Amino acid sequence: MTLIFVLFLISFFNLLDYTFSLRLVEVRIPNYVIKGSTAQLECLYDLDGEALYSVKWYKDGNEFYRYVPRDMPPAQTFLLPGVSVNVHNSSDAIVTLREVNLQTAGRFRCEVSGEAPSFQTVTEHGDMVVVSLPDQGPPKISGGRPRYQIGDWVRINCTAGRSKPAVQLSWFINGEVAEPQYLRKYNTILSGREGLETSVLGLQFRVEQHHFRNGDMKLKCVASLSTFYWRSNEESVEGDRPQKAPVLESRETVYASNSRADPVQASKSDSTLLLKTSNTIILIITTLITSYGCLGRLLGIKHNCIKLTLQHKKVNRKPIYCYEKLKKQQQQQQQHEQQEHYRHHHHHHRHHDEESDDNTKNELYFNKEMSRLLLQLLLLPMLLLLYIHTQEFTIATTSVSSAKQLTTDKVNNNNSNSSEATTSVSAVAIQVDTIAQNHTLKSR
């Protein structure tokens, strides 16, 4: 009978506990909190008819906050490194932490207890991570070159700024995620008293044709941390295809190349083009000045002849030949004829001889002027030929320098094929020297 009574009491209390049961509805603990910000911890419970005895908060097993409704004041805090509670903004359901730091991170647990006689207790926990964001801007890319050829190896690294925890790094090639076999992972670097971490991720692959888009290859590194940090850095490198050997065509050397112009080559080409342009302008100006002088002199002679001829016709009614001093002699002759008009018949033969002498002088003058004109016109082809040979020699000299520079760069960029590159350099240098000698002989 006594045993039956004890079992009845146990069943009654179990039924009473089931009827008035304390339970936790939800515990909200932020997974990530940025260093220096404020964090809120929430513990939502349902007393279900029971009276609340206390709400306690623990970090890594150490109590730092207690709320007891019967106490005055009901809220009480305990010192704990890295934990600073804002009591004015805290209650039985919410605890506010201010200016969190890296020591604040850890496991937080909420414990709710009911009043006597049951003193039922429920508990739940959650982890919080305090994040120290990188303070050095976007990730840095190192080890790259401004130009790559097909077959070259790309070996670059992406380094993020110091943070806690370490950020996640990823590589993209032309906007697409890099293949896993291209990645080179390194251990995280720890530094400082707070144990800040530095992430490094390498990228290594052999350049192929499909890596270039419109002659360029874009390499981007992305650093991310959960959902509140995302930074990237991108570098664009140029594709440089192998240079072809110089091809000799008739009287000039042509270099066939599908690659972009190197800055050194571009400057040489610009200087050569500038030299050609300036020489051409000088030749054109010289030709125009010479032609203008010749034509002006010829037109001046013709104009003077016509003028003097018309003036002489008005006096003597007959044409004459042009001469510089003809006008002066004409005036002297008219004065002489007026003074000795009465002896005109006696000196007819003498006057005829003087006129013949003037005609002879005029013819000599014309012959002299025409000879000078022809000589100046003959100088133009000679100047043109000299200009052509000078340009050929300049082009040959520039081609020699450009070819040697190209072959030297090719040798430096292809160390694995040094023997073949050396043979190519020698062949190109010999061919270019032969071209230069031929152009020099032609110029001479």
Q: What residues does 23 pair with on adjacent strands?
A: 46
Residue 167 DSSP class: P
Contact 54, 68 (CB under 8 A): yes
pLDDT band at 7 (very low <50, low <70, confident <90, very high): low
The CATH number given to 140-239 is 2.60.40.10
pLDDT of amino acid 115: 86
pLDDT of amino acid 137: 87
Residue 67 CB neighbours (<10 A): 22
Superfamily of domain 19-131: Immunoglobulins (2.60.40.10)
Q: Which secondary-structure segment (H or E) carries 25?
A: strand 23-28
Rounded to 10°, the helix 263-316/326-339 angle is: 10
The position carrying tokens 């401004």 is: 146
Per DSSP (E only), the strands in 29-173 are 32-34, 39-46, 52-59, 62-67, 75-77, 94-97, 106-114, 121-131, 140-142, 147-148, 153-159, 168-173
Residue 76 CA to residue 71 CA, distance in Å, equals 9
Predicted confidence (pLDDT) per residue in 112-170, tens digit: 998 877 788 999 999 999 999 988 789 999 999 989 999 999 999 999 999 998 999 99
5 vs 395 pLDDT, higher one: 395
Radius of gyration of the chain (CA): 52
Helices (H), 200-340: 263-316, 326-339
Q: Which two tokens stand for residue 145?
A: 């070159």
Predicted confidence (pLDDT) per residue in 133-148, tens digit: 988 789 999 999 989 9
What end-to-end distance do the CA atoms of the chain give, in Å? Answer: 140
What are the φ and ψ backbone dihedral angles of 26, each rounded to 5 degrees?
A: -165, 145
Contact 416, 153 (CB under 8 A): no
Contact 303, 310 (CB under 8 A): no
pLDDT of amino acid 202: 97
User: What is the pTM (predicted TM-score) of this model?
Assistant: 0.47
pLDDT of amino acid 303: 54
Q: Is the pLDDT of residue 255 over 50?
A: no
DSSP assignment string, 183-216: EEE-PPEEETTTTEEE-EEEEEEE--GGG-BTTE
Tell me if domain 19-131 and domain 140-239 are identical in fold. yes
Q: Is the pLDDT of residue 245 over 50?
A: no
Q: For residue 75, what are the contacts with CB-CB under 8 A and spacing of at least 6?
A: 65, 66, 67, 87, 90, 91
Strand, helix or coil at 423? helix
Residues in the chain: 444
pLDDT band at 263 (very low <50, low <70, confident <90, very high): very low
Q: What separation in angstroms does the CA of 317 have from each of 105, 179, 209, 329, 352?
A: 127, 106, 92, 17, 16
Contact 16, 108 (CB under 8 A): no
Strand, helix or coil at 225? strand
CA angle, 55 as apex, 51 and 59 as ends, to 5°? Answer: 165
Predicted confidence (pLDDT) per residue in 33-85, tens digit: 999 999 999 999 998 878 899 999 999 999 999 999 999 999 999 999 999 99
CA angle, 267 as apex, 261 and 272 as ends, to 5°? Answer: 110
Determine if the peptide bond prior to 81 is cis (ω within 30°): no
Residue 126 CB neighbours (<10 A): 14
What are the φ and ψ backbone dihedral angles of 30, each rounded to 5 degrees?
A: -60, 135
pLDDT band at 174 (very low <50, low <70, confident <90, very high): very high
Predicted confidence (pLDDT) per residue in 308-359, tens digit: 555 555 444 444 445 455 566 666 777 776 666 656 554 444 545 545 555 5
The ranges assigned to domains in the chain are 19-131, 140-239, 252-340+361-443
